[in-house]
Structure formats: structure tokens, C-alpha cells
Amino acid sequence: MTTRLLHAEDHGDIEHAAQLLIAGGLVAVPTETVYGLGADASNPVAVARIFAVKGRPANHPLIVHVADLDHARRLSSDWSASAEVLGRTYWPGPASVLTPRSAVVPLEVTGGRQTVVVRVPRHPGTLRLLSRLHDLGSCGLAAPSANRFGAISPTTAEHVMTDLAEDIDAVLDGGPCDVGLESTIIDCTGDTAVILRPGAITHDAVSSALAEHGIAVTKRQGQDGESTDTAAIAPGMLRSHYAPSTRLEVFESDAELVEARRRHEDRGLKVVVVPRPVDDFDYSRSLYAALRECDGRHGDVMLALLPEDDGLGTAIRDRLLRASAER
């Protein structure tokens, strides 16, 4: 299959993408976090193609992307106060809400679960596409990150082309992603909200929005790369995920990294050091492209410095720890 390159600022191309999706096609779309591999969430056959192309186990549920809060509510059978507050506060943006599924969402999308994860992404071209899909009768765009299962998420259209060309119908090029890490996932089904995956909407941001409404936030058990049960927990939370093919080692301090570098080089190994930008926003935005670039240099080992476990640093650490976990 030849994969078409479409442009997110071209209205004709958005219409073309919408038509491909409604016909059951797969179109990769830009979001502020990472590129998603999209299919019409109302079409179980198209959704099945996502799993086939990614090589993703069918019990691993997909996020459904919609144009606004109103469309999000329709996907839920019990839209909670915490979901409403987070949607109002952070959408469009990198927050995803876990809510009970309504009958509108096929079980193929949720991997057979009675819950669904929903989000309104911030990219203008993708928002236009999502509105159009809604007008054409779709409940939303089911889209995991547009990479093969377990590999590094794409943050440019070029990354998607490198990974998935020939297997998908089109890529909508909307430029590089400005957040660069997958969205924060918040379980909004209970009395307290639970952060299932850290992202750019930080723990403090979630808790300050909810505190005004008297709702508490807790962290999921088993963070920092602990292994988890694949059937019970989302794959983005698997111990080894987001991984380059070169072995990656991570360090708490520069001194430890320099020491490890010396040790490896003494043994004749080719060492590639992942650049550590000055602030966490740059680190987040550039991390996946940097991991890909370093991986492409075919060293024996890659070394990276962990940011502090605070604010956006928590999400960066989470991805680096998973990328470095033993497979």
C-alpha cells in the first residue's frame, strides 16, 4: 500500500483524511503529545486493523479522541464530577480520562473492558478532523501511538513514515509534537482520581484542579518501572515499553553517568550519550527524537540522565525507566 502524505493545515487534505477514515482506513494524525494511529472508533473492522499493524495484543485498549467535552460525555455511561472538572480545565490538551463506557463505544476499542479512555487533543488540524468525523456519524477516533508495539512513540510525520509506511493509508503531517510525551491518564471512575500514567498534566495540576471540588488524587501503585500484570493494567504501564533497540542505561547524576561511560569505554564499547536539555520542557519535547537518533548511531550502549521526580520530570523519568527496563 502507498501511504499518502497529507497536510494538517490544508482543509482539502483534512476532508480526504476524514473520507479515508469513514471508509475504514488507517490515518496517522498529529497531536500535541505524540502521533496517533487513527481509525474510526465506530468501525470494529477498522479498529482491528490498528491491532494488526501495531502488532498489539487485542486486549490492550485504545484511547478515543473527540473534538470537545460534549462529544466525550456521550462515550460515557457515568460521567463523573472529576471527569467533568478535568475536561473543563485541561481540554483540549494532554489529559486522558478513564470513564465507564457507553454503548456507543464498541468493545473492540476497549479490549473488552467496560471502561474507555477519552481525550480531546490540542492540535488544530486534528480537532478539525475530529469535528468532521463526528458530522459523518463517527463516535470518535480510536488512536494508540503510531509505532509498533513496545517501540518508541513518533513525534514527527517522518517517524511515522519510517515505522509504518506501506501498512497505513495516510499520514497527516502537522509538524513536530510540542509536548512530546504521551498524555496523562487519569482514572475518574472512583471517589478519588488515580493517575495511571504520568504526563505533561502533572500530579500537582490534576490535584489542584480537583481540590477545588473536594476530590483527592492518588498515584497508581507500582510506579518507576515495576512489572505489572498485562491483562489487568494498560500496556503503556508495562515495565519494558517505549524502548530503543540499543541497550539504554539511566543515571541519577552526571557523576554516575561519566563513571559508567569510562567503564564501558575501557572495555572497548561504543557509548552514545543521550543529550539532556536544560529544562524539562525541552527534554520532554525532544526525548523520543533523541532516543531514535541515538539508536540510529548503532552504539553498544546508550546512557541518559534522569530528571528529578517532580512536575514534568516525573513523566520523563517514567518513560526513560521503561525504555531502559530489561526485556
Where are any strands of DSSP class E within 123-276? 141-142, 170-173, 184-187, 193-197, 217-219, 247-251, 271-273
Q: Which is nearer to ligand TXA, 233 or 260 (CB)?
A: 233
Residue 285: name the closest of 204, 185, 191, 175 by CA: 175
Q: Which does 128 bind (CB under 5 to 8 A by kind): ligand TXA, Mg ion, none?
A: none
DSSP 208-222: HHHHTTT--EEEPSS
Q: Which does 96 bind (CB under 5 to 8 A by kind): Mg ion, ligand TXA, none?
A: ligand TXA
Residue 129: name the closest of 1, 28, 33 by CA: 28
Binding to Mg ion (CB under 5 A): which residues in 141-170?
145
Q: Which is nearer to ligand TXA, 27 or 116 (CB)?
A: 116
Contact 36, 29 (CB under 8 A): yes
Q: Which is nearer to Mg ion, 145 or 189 (CB)?
A: 145
The DSSP element (H or E) to which 4 belongs, if any, is strand 4-7
Binding residue (CB under 6 A) for ligand TXA from 3, 33, 76, 324 = 33
Could you tell me the smallest distance in angstroms from the CB atom of residue 29 to ligand TXA? 8
Q: Which is nearer to ligand TXA, 149 or 273 (CB)?
A: 149
DSSP structural state of residue 101: B
Q: Name the phi and psi angles at 130, rounded to 5.
A: -65, -40
- Asked if 95 touches ligand TXA (CB under 6 A), the answer is no
Could you tell me the smallest distance in angstroms from the CB atom of residue 178 to ligand TXA? 12
Binding residue (CB under 6 A) for ligand TXA from 182, 280, 295, 318 = 182
Count of residues that bind ligand TXA according to CB under 6 A:
26
Q: Which does 313 bind (CB under 5 to 8 A by kind): ligand TXA, Mg ion, none?
A: none
The DSSP element (H or E) to which 276 belongs, if any, is none
Q: Name the phi and psi angles at 199, rounded to 5.
A: -155, -160
Torsion of the alpha carbons at 187, 201, 226 and 58, rounded to the nearest 10: 60
Residue 205-244 contact track with ligand TXA, rule CB under 6 A, x = bound? -----------------------------xxxx-------
Could you tell me the smallest distance in angstroms from the CB atom of residue 314 to Mg ion? 18
Q: Which does 34 bind (CB under 5 to 8 A by kind): Mg ion, ligand TXA, none?
A: ligand TXA
The DSSP element (H or E) to which 48 belongs, if any, is helix 44-54
Residue 86 and residue 294: Cα distance in Å, rounded? Answer: 36
Q: Residue numbers of the site for Mg ion (CB under 5 A)?
A: 145
Q: Residue numbers of the site for ligand TXA (CB under 6 A)?
A: 31, 33-34, 36, 60-63, 96, 98, 110, 113, 115-117, 121, 143-145, 182-183, 185, 234-237
